Structures are given as structure tokens and as C-alpha cells.
Structure 1
């Protein structure tokens, strides 16, 4: 892979992974930041050794490598990219300020960026959905979702799903192919009004 400068999308992914400071799947990357890492951009970052991408279930999950963290640290004090728009110029000014602070305080990026805590059951449901879905907006079964939410009671999960359903990006729907439903699917259904619902979809930001 020729040693070319990273493009805007590739840089955006690098900084998003830096800010998250953890492994993150494409559906979650889309939900939180509005883009995914796939295609040529994924191959470039993988080939350069900056990002490690693996399939976990159906979606890709991405993580900064040690080399990727070094790239981010170097970028804090780098000149802004040629052709950057006004937002990009302002962003690199902020990065430079962070770089100067870390240098003065003798700190590293690991002292500044930490994985976010999953504070609520709704957060856990979103994270579990991201693991099960290949792309934002895919439908996943409530059977699979409930199975992965260890430690939460049926009532707690039902209440959290109903709360999530207020988000316009969330859709809880019945499975139209009723004959394909197993006993587990019927038991996992969420009753809303007079309808049993078996599927969850969460769209991107």
C-alpha cells in the first residue's frame, strides 16, 4: 500500500475510534457518528496497520492498533491537511490545543480518552443491537436480543424497549411471517397495544 495521506473519511474514522477508545462495530459507529468503515477506506486503514477490523457475528468490528494510536498522537501536533474546509481547520486547531495540553501535562491519549460506560439498560440494548445487526436499520429478533441481555428481568427489558420506542429511529415491529415464529419467538414478543412484536430496528443518527 503506497504511503499516501489519509482522506477525510479515513481521518474521521481514526478520530472517532480514538474518542471511543474501544472496539466498535459498524452499526454502532453509524449510530453514534453517522458513518461506517467499509470498502476501500477499511482496506486502506487495515493495510496501513492503523485499524484492526474483524467480523464479529455479521458486522465488522474495528479497533485502533498501537500504530493507529501513534498516528492519532502525531496528528495532534501536525499541520492541518491541505484543502481542509473551515470546519476542518477549526477541528485541527482544537487538536493542536489538546496536543499542547497533553505535552505540558506529560500525559498521553490514554489519559484523556476512555470507553464510555453503559449506564442504563437502554444503553445495553443499543449495544446489543449493534452486535446483532449488520447495518443500521436491520431488524433483529427480540429472541436473540433478550438472550444476550444477561441479568436483566423480562419486565425491565420490556420497559426499556418501550422507552426506546419513543425514539423516531427505533422501530419495534411484528414478524409478518407468523408461520416461521418459534415458541421462543412468541415468548420473547413485546406486546404493544393489541399487537405482539418480535423485531427491533435502530436506525443511524
Structure 2
């Protein structure tokens, strides 16, 4: 059976600086129709930066949709017109942590919430961090603190619900694999 849904009509509901929201009428594979609320997003990057002591850098910030502070790996959105996710990752690493890396390795790419959004996230990893000569300023509406956490500290933060987003949890699992393989320093 072919599961493709044919879009019959698209109604723009909202146009913003970070996302657009459309209401779609679709034809289902069995001939019935349904409505789909679709969020369109330019995509994002996230970085797993591990320092010389074997600790990963996390940022603590307020997340309005959840009404709480979270600990997350550094990340940021790809702006309209940007075509190089790796360059965006380096920009975000500089902006959020004050570090640069000459060795950025792609770990994975994935859709963050495919049930209602087309945001595609690029996940990178580095264990070669260097302080930047010129740190970029945070976005005007961005407030965060940087933390260097051991694996045990990060897992404890996850257990407390401070680390609770998919990209950071995926990063923790990848970090655990790297530790088991001996590819990073074990604290």
C-alpha cells in the first residue's frame, strides 16, 4: 500500500521569523480527506563539544514552551539563506560557549518532530576545543550559562529532568558509545 498523502489545499495560518504554520487539506491513501497542521522551520544544528578533561559543554537556558530552565548541548537555528550547517554549528559554538574547533564531525541528521514539523537537525561532535579570539555576542533575546559536566553529572541532570530534549538525550547516548569505545576520556 502507498501511504503518501496528496496535498489538496494549503492555507497559511502564521508567518514568523522562526517558523511558519500551514493548515493542509490532504487526500489519504484510502480516499478520505484529513487536515494537517504543519510547522515549517529552516532547520537547526547542535554540537556535542567535549573538553580536554572529558566533560561535555552544556548551556542552561529558559525554554518558554516548557516553562522551565533546561540543560542542553549548544544549538541554534539555520537562518534563511544559510546553506552550510557546519558553518552554522561553528557560529553557534562560538556564540554560546566561546570556543572554536578545527575538527567538527557530523554524527547524525534527523527530523526533530516529524508528526507536525519539518525541522531537520544536524548533530555534530568535537573533542578539540580552542578558546576563540573574538566571541560572538548572544542573540538579543538569549540568556544562558555554560556548564562543563562529567558524564555522571549529565546523567544525573537527565534523571532530574533538567536534560529533557531529544537532541541532548541523543548526544548523551552517543557520548556513552564514545566512552565505551575508548574514543573520549572517561571521567
Q: Normalising by the residue count of structure 1, what TM-score does the alignment of the two structures yield?
A: 0.24
If each structure's helix is expressed as a fraction of its own residues, which one has the higher value? 1
Q: Normalising by the residue count of structure 2, what TM-score does the alignment of the two structures yield?
A: 0.26
If each structure's strand is expressed as a fraction of its own residues, which one has the higher value? 2
* Higher-Rg member (1/2): 1
